[in-house]
Structure 1
Amino acid sequence: MLRRMDDMPAGTLGFEAVGKVDDDDWEETVEPVLRREIAEGRNVRMLYLIGPSAGEMEGDAMKADTGFRARHASSFDRVAVVSDENWMRPALRGLSFLLPGKARGFHVRELEQAKAWLVEDVA
């Protein structure tokens, strides 16, 4: 499941993967929050934490996320993905070339750095 993180800096969103994550988690937890932010004219600065409590992540969940970002690309300012999964950072670098905004990968031990990066350059 995906759960919203409460300890995020002002003006940012955070979601943590806990256990198995599927496309329903994205549609029920993340997408409504993002839709509201976008409808209110805010640029999204978001963090995904895929830490040790995360389990299997279904491909449909990743497709839902990528598809949503592609449809609303101009609304994303920064996306931080925090994970110790070896494949995550190279995949993120590849995706970041396709979408506007900044995307960056961090190790789990760098969670606080990821949060700080999200709020850099906020006017």
Structure 2
Amino acid sequence: MLKPIENLPSHVVGVRASGEVTETDLKEVLLPALDALVQSQDEIYYLLVLDTTVQNFTAGAWIQDMVAGLRHFTKWKKMAIVTPQESVETFTNYFSYISPGEARGFKKDELDQAIAWVSTKNEK
């Protein structure tokens, strides 16, 4: 399940993943939020808090995640992933080398730092 994270700056979209995450979750929660953000801000600052393991994302969810990434490929500025899984945190840090924006992994107890980091706009 994906749930929006409230009380973030208007240029940041945040979602919390828990339990099983499905294609429907991405289509109904994440994709509309990203589309609206691009419409209003023309760039994406994204926070994902994983309260579940990546193994709980269905195949359809992974496909929709890829669609989300490609749909606005040049709009991604920052992506913060908060997770208890060290392998996901490490992957996120390396992903920054191939993604158009910055990506950074954070530990579960670093949520406040993740929000501060992703909320800070890049210089143009």
In the superposition, the TM-score normalised over structure 1's length comes to 0.85
Give SS of 1:78's match: strand
Give structure 2 stretches of 5+ with no counterpart: none
Which stretch of the first structure deviates more once superposed, 64-73 or 75-84?
Answer: 64-73
Gaps of 5+ in 1: none
Distance 1:121 1:31, change over 3 A: closer
SS at match of 2:20: strand
Identity %: 26
Distance 1:27 1:14, change over 3 A: same
1:98 counterpart letter in structure 2: I
Matched residue, 2:88: 88
Aligned AA for 2:48? Y
1:1-123 alignment, distance < 5 Å: 1-51=1-51, 54=52, 56-121=56-121
- Tell me the distance in 2 between the aligned counterparts of 1:87 and 1:122: 26
Q: 1:68 to 1:33 in 2, by over 3 A?
A: same
Partner secondary structure for residue 29 of structure 2:
helix
RMSD (Å), alpha carbons? 1.9
AA aligned opposite 1:112: D
1:72/1:121 CA distance change after superposition, 3 Å: closer
More strand by share: 1
SS of 1:7's equivalent in the other structure is coil
Relative to its length, the structure with more helix (as a share) is: 2
Find the residue that maps to 2:110 and give its secondary structure: helix
Comparing 99-108 and 65-74, the one that deviates more: 65-74
Structure 1 residue identity aligned to 2:69: R
Supply the distance in 2 between the matched residues of 1:103 and 1:59 (Cα, whole angstroms).
23
